[in-house]
Amino acid sequence: MNSTLKEQIKAQIRECKAEVIAIRRHLHMHPELSFQEEETGRFIAAQLAAWGIPHEHGIAENGVLALIVGEQAESDQVIALRADIDALPIQETNEVPYRSQRQGLMHACGHDVHTASLLGAARVLWQLRTQFSGTIKLLFQPAEEMLPGGASVMIREGALENPRPAGIFGQHVYPVLEAGKVGFRGGRYMASCDELYVTVTGKGGHGATPHLTVDPILIAAHLVVALQQVVSRNADPTIPSVLTFGKITSTGGSTNIIPQEVKLMGTFRTLDENWRSEAHQRMQRIAEHLVQGMGGHCDFRIEVGYPYLSNDEALTARARRYAEDFLGKDAVVDLPIRLTAEDFSYYSQVLPACFYRLGTGNIARGITANVHTSTFDIDEEALEIGAGLMAWLAICELAEK
> Which positions are annotated as active-site residues?
86, 144
pLDDT value of position 20: 98
Residues 227/280, Cβ–Cβ less than 8 Å: no
Please count the other Cβ atoms lying within 10 Å of the Cβ belonging to residue 305.
19
Which long-range contacts (C-beta less than 8 Å, at least 24 apart) are formed by 326-330?
326/6, 326/388, 326/389, 326/392, 327/180, 327/181, 327/182, 327/385, 327/389
Residue 63: closest CA among 118, 107, 16:
118
pLDDT value of position 2: 72
Q: Which domains does the chain have, with CATH numbers?
A: 3-188+308-400 (3.40.630.10), 194-303 (3.30.70.360)
pLDDT value of position 251: 86
Residue length, the chain?
401
- CA 259 centroid distance within chain: 38
pLDDT tens digits for range 350-392? 999 999 999 999 999 999 999 999 999 999 999 999 999 999 9
pLDDT tens digits for range 15-67? 999 999 999 999 999 999 999 999 999 999 999 999 999 999 999 999 999 99
pLDDT tens digits for range 226-255? 999 999 999 999 999 999 999 999 988 999
pLDDT value of position 401: 67
Q: Would you list the DSSP string of 47-112?
A: HHHHHT--EEEEETTTEEEEEEEEESS----EEEEEEE---BS------STT---STT-B--SSHH
